[in-house]
Amino acid sequence: MSALLERRNTTKAVEYRDGDSGGEGTLSGYASVYLRYSQNLGGFVEQVARGAFAKSLGDKVPVLARYNHEDEWLLGTTEAGTLQLADDEIGLAYEVELPPTNAGKDVAILAKRGDIRYSSFAFYTLEDEWSVTEQGFPLRTLISVQLTDVAPVNSPAYLDTTAGVRSLADRVGLEVDTLTVATTEEIRSLLLGERIDIPAVEARSEEQVELGLVAGETHAYELTERRRELERLR
């Protein structure tokens, strides 16, 4: 299991339903949608395989619902039965019964106003696989994960892809520093089992990549994201 906690978002709508007998109501949505490509995560895209949450749900691992993943905004837990999770054909669905606390009341108000529009989940990777898309872009598929919490969020936060970058580096046999300056074409070749000039990649400077002096240059966005993840790993 990866020792690094990761978070991913989905833009599938969050729904609010008024509570019975004066309760704070419930929030429901999809923390994850299966087999949908993510945005560019800094040189690769990602998808969640069907059944990725099976182990967590089967083992009844305690899962929290927290607004924006913040401890002080606890909304419910699977242990207390105030958070319900369901694995269906679309993805991982959740429904949380909002508590009569300041956090619950505030989230209910925000939900009614339409300020809470997205969902997110936090997890540790148990198993992943690497391949390429039809367009030849590196693709990470999450096969099995250990779920820790789900969260309604008001805006997609920065996606911590440190574990994904490290997994990709391990898969293609490069140091993380080297992966940071490798082009997408070179990474794709390694994923397909093709040889590349690794010493040349290792000798490459980030300045060369930024200036576009490398054949098959890495896009500036990808380089920025890889740099950010490299700093997290140091």
- Identify whether 1 is part of a domain: no
| Domain-ending residue, one of 94, 124, 156 | 156
Same domain, 87 and 143: yes
| C-beta atoms surrounding 234 within 10 Å | 7
**pLDDT tens figures, 76-131:** 999 999 999 999 999 999 999 999 999 999 999 999 998 998 999 999 999 999 99
pLDDT, mean over the chain: 85
Residue with tokens 């909002």: 98
Same domain, 18 and 41: yes
- Identify whether 28 is part of a domain: yes
Same domain, 71 and 132: yes
For 193: left if phi > 0, alpha if psi spans -120 to 50, otherwise beta; the answer is left
Residue 86 sits in which domain range? 6-156
Looking at residue 216, its pLDDT comes to 46
Residue 18: pLDDT over 90: no
What burial letters (b/e) apply to 129-153, b meaning 16+ CB within 10 Å? ebebeeeebbbbbbebbbbbbbbbb
| Domain-ending residue, one of 156, 175, 195 | 156
Same domain, 151 and 169: no
Helices 162-172 and 220-233 sit at what angle, rounded to 10 degrees?
A: 100
Residue 222: pLDDT over 80: no
Name the phi and psi angles at 121, rounded to 5. -140, 150
Banded pLDDT at 220 (limits 50, 70, 90): very low
Q: Record the pTM.
A: 0.82
- Identify whether 130 is part of a domain: yes
Same domain, 97 and 146: yes
**pLDDT tens figures, 44-75:** 999 999 999 999 999 998 999 999 999 999 99
Residue 213: pLDDT over 70: no
Same domain, 87 and 184: no
How many domains is the chain built from?
2
| C-beta atoms surrounding 49 within 10 Å | 17
Residue 146: pLDDT over 80: yes
Give 168-177 contacts, CB < 8 A, sequence gap 24+.
168/43, 168/44, 168/130, 168/138, 168/140, 171/130, 172/130, 174/198, 174/201, 175/202, 176/229, 176/230, 176/233, 177/230
Contact 95, 119 (CB under 8 A): no
Q: State the Cα–Cα distance between residues 137 and 43, nearest whole angstrom.
A: 8
- Identify whether 131 is part of a domain: yes
| Domain-ending residue, one of 127, 156, 185 | 156
